[in-house]
Structure formats: structure tokens, C-alpha cells
Amino acid sequence: MKITVMTADEQIVTLEVDRDESVENLKALLEVETQVTLQRQQLLFNGKEMRNAEKLSALGVNDGDLIMMVSQASSSVSSNDLSLNSDGSAVNPAAFQQQIRSDSNTMAQLFQADPELAQVLLGNDLNKLQDLLRQRHRQKSEMRRQQDEELALHYADPFDVEAQKKIEAAIRQKGIDENWAAAVEHNPEGFARVVMLYVDMEVNGVPLKAFVDSGAQSTIISKSCAERCGLLRLLDQRYKGMAHGVGQLEILGRIHVAPIKIGNIFYPCSFLVLDSPNMDFLFGLDMLRKHQCMIDLKENVLRVGGGEVSVPFLPEKDIPSHYLDEERKLKEVSSSGAQGTPGTRENSGIRTGSNSSGSAPNLPQGVEFEAKVSRLIELGFEREAVIQALKFFDGNEDQAAGYLFGG
């Protein structure tokens, strides 16, 4: 069988040996290849030292396995070379490395207790070794400091107010640390990043990835997405204003109704148009309610129309990375509602505006009703049917449009 031996200076030696060969004979072969005497060789397999009398098969060495070879340190190394500096680094890192390597028991313990340090000691990067030694020194110093503080507080004057405050803080911190440790053991998924819910949809025949957010009051489409979907011509700028949340975004207006396709079924949808370049479409609570949607996290699907359609939520790999940065800002704004600012209508000079619930502009009753009728007629419906639908839904234009599309 063939085995590979890596030396301390990262030299690679490939040997053809018998499965029942002894470790001592293997060292003899390596002496010829590496010029390192048999007595100075130390072979490690899976972190354990290989004894001269042992057979390779008994140690579990198989074809293609890797064996580490380290050279025992020279006896001429001074004790000063093996000492440590005040920051924990070695005075002579090369001598320190060789000394630790030569002690098979210490290496075996390191592989169990600190495999990272053991791997660095077997490597050839002395700067990395020094950095790791300094890090371990800082960790031990911090642990000692905490222990000293706890001991000092234990013997503190019970009538010392400041000492009692520190004891209280130490007890509180201990509880927090224990709670954290319990969470790491029993609820590790709580520390992972939660991926938001996206589904594939089509808006006016254009496929896109919709951010499903039941915490957002309004359904939102970006200006660029509305333009891409051919809907910008339907933008009602009387509803423009500012959406205020933790941050704020400009509301360019409202598109009162457009077809969206979820699964194989079309549904009427209305949405605010925001100047948000990175997030295409946010499916908010208004449309989730309207279309009786259910967020099924057990099956990881969005059910629409009371369950007539089910579409799976997208895995993280299918979500564009720039969406994940923008979704937080949109959620902050949309969850607070759209607070519109007054605007003017050029032709009539009548003041209009929008509010958080998306109600109709502040027009006189007759003008307001007629404006709704005109907008719905522009979508291709008969005047009589439009008037009946508006009366049936008490003048709610969105519900009337949904009824007309559904009919």
C-alpha cells in the first residue's frame, strides 16, 4: 500500500510499504529519504505517537493515509530559548516548537484539549504560532482577573455600597452567561440569521420575487419594478407623499388595481409606489387579508385564497443578496403606514392627499364618486356595473375593482 509522510518542514514523502510493516522499519526507510536519523524521528498518526514495535495494520494505517513526522529537539537547546515573553509569545519560537513536538505526551494532550494550537505547532508558520500564544495568554489573564474580582467581592465589606453593586452586577452577569450557555446547547438555531419570506409571483405578466411581510400595513412596488411591469402609466400621483417609519421613503403615488399571478391563478392587487431601487415588490397585510392568505411555516408555503393555491417560500440561495439589505428599510417604513402630504391637482385646483389607510382623496362626495367611476371605466368595465359595484361596497374602490375583476 502507499502512504504519505509529511515532515516538519512540509516535505512530502510517498512510500510503498507492506500493511504489516513495523514502525521501526518505516523509520529506517524515512531515514534514507529525509536524512533524519531513526532515533530523532517521531511519527504521529491521527495525533497519536507510533511506537517502533507496532505494526502499521494494528495502528489502523490504510492505503493513502497521511502520517506526520517531527524531529526531536536537540539537547543543546538552552532553557532560555524555551521561555516565554511577558505577552505570552515564545523567546525562541523555533526552539519552543521543536521542544513541544518532541514530547509525544504533550502533543497527544494538545490534540485533545487544543487542536488549533497542536496544528499550528505541526505547521511551519512561526508568526501564526506567536499570535496564537499571545491570544491564549490574554485569555488566561482575563480568566484570572475575573476569578480575582469574584474572590475580592466574596470577602468585601457587606456594608460597602459600591462593593454590593458590583456583587449584584456579577450575579446578574453570571445569570446572563448561564442563559447564553443554555441557549447555545438547547436552542442553537436562535443565533442563526433568519431568512425572510419570499415567493415567486407575476405582476402584470412579469415574473419577480415578492417579499411576503404580514407586519407591513401596505403592499408596495418600487418605481423601477412598476415601470418594468408596464404599470407606471396607471400611477395616481394624487396619493404621493412621504412614508414615515424609523426611516422615510417618498411615496410616488398609488396603482389602484393590477393583476398578479400566484401559482396558476390571477388576483387583483393594489399597491403604493415607492422610490426604492433595491426591493421590487412587498406583499403586505392589506393584500394578505384581501386574498385570505395563510403563512404555513410547517410546510414552508404561502397558501392563497383559503388554500386553493400553495406556493413554496424561496431558499436563501434563490434570493438576490441586495434584497436582504433593502427589506429591513421597507419593513420599517411600511409597518408604520404611509403618511401622505397634501398635493394639488393642476386642472381643477382641488387639494388632494393620502392617508395611512389608503382612503380616497378629500374630494366632494359627487366628484369623488365620479372620479372612482371614471378610473374603473378606464380599466374596461361598463359604467352601470361600476356604479353597482361601488354602491355595493359603500364606495370602496379597491373592493369594487376586485369584485369586477373576479366577476
Q: In this structure, which amino acid lies at residue 351? A: R
Supply 224's cell numbers. Answer: 423601477
Catalytic-residue membership of 213: yes
Supply 62's cell numbers. Answer: 490504510
Q: Give the residue among 35, 3, 34, 33 at the shortest CA–CA distance from 18.
A: 3
Supply 129's cell numbers. Answer: 504560532
Q: Map the chain to HEC letters.
A: CEEEEECCCCCEEEEECCCCCEHHHHHHHHHHHHCCCHHHEEEEECCEECCCCCECCCCCCCCCCEEEEEECCCCCCCCHHHCECCCCCECCHHHHHHHHHHCHHHHHHHHHHCHHHHHHHHCCCHHHHHHHHHHHHHHHHHHHHHHHHHHHHHCCCCCCHHHHHHHHHHHHHHHHHHHHHHHHHHCHHHHCCCCCEEEEEEECCEEEEEEECCCCCCCEEEHHHHHHCCCHHHCEHHHCEEEECCCEEEEEEEEEEEEEEECCEEEEEEEEEECCCCCCEEECHHHHHHCCCEEECCCCEEEECCCCEEEECCCHHHCCHHHHHHHHHHHHHHCCCEEECCEECCCCCCEECCCCCCCCCCCCHHHHHHHHHHHHHHCCCCHHHHHHHHHHCCCCHHHHHHHHHHC
Q: How far is 119 from 191, CA to CA, in rounded Å?
A: 28
Supply 396's cell numbers. Answer: 370602496
Phi-psi region of 35 (alpha: psi -120 to 50; beta: other; left: phi over 0): left
Supply 16's cell numbers. Answer: 510503498
The answer to whether the beta carbons of residues 243 and 251 sit under 8 Å apart is: yes
Q: How far is 116 from 257, CA to CA, in rounded Å?
A: 61
Point out the catalytic residue in the list 9, 87, 131, 213.
213
Catalytic sites, residue numbers: 213
